[in-house]
Amino acid sequence: MNVYQYTALNNPHGSTEMVESYGIKAIRHPKHLAKQLALVVAKHRDSALGKLAEIHPDVPLFQKQIDDFKVKIKSEHDNNNNSSFSNFIDGQTIKSDIASLKDKVSTPTTDNGKNEIKLLMIGGIIVIGLAIIFKK
């Protein structure tokens, strides 16, 4: 028995409401209702999975663990707020590093300046590459 069949069998009212909220006329038979739930999830992915999780018959059994996990993640995030990665989400550190690199590139003063430019260009390429990778 899969999650769609289990939900349709044990929570037919919630399953019917979910299917109809996506504009499909629900069929009350659990076998057909399970197929309709699967179809809705296949078409609407994340939003449908969220609703399916809300109507799942065993949600009360797991709700305490879910709440505890959310509290744990929030406290870890708050504790790491002062780390070197604290500005990672909004990119402020990367912006300031790029600005300082631009200043260094625009004012080379010695022969070492050429080497510095090369190193800064390589560093810039690495920073841009990492930004592209983490954006996905």
Is pLDDT at 128 greater than 60 in this prediction? Answer: yes
Structural domains counted in the chain: 2
Residue 48: inside a domain: yes
What pLDDT was estimated at residue 7? 92
| Inside any domain, residue 67 | no
Computed on alpha carbons and rounded to an integer, the radius of gyration of the chain in Å comes to 26
- Model's pTM, two decimal places? 0.48
Instruction: Answer whether residue 74 is part of any domain.
Output: no
55 with 104, same domain? no
Q: 35 is in which domain, residue-wise?
A: 3-60
Instruction: Examine the pLDDT at 67 and tell me if it is beyond 90.
Output: no
Burial (CB count within 10 angstroms: exposed 0-12, middle 13-18, buried 19+), residue 63: exposed
What is the structure's pLDDT at 18?
93
Q: Which amino acid is at 59?
A: V
Q: Give the pLDDT confidence score for residue 9 in this predicted structure.
A: 93
Contact 105, 120 (CB under 8 A): yes
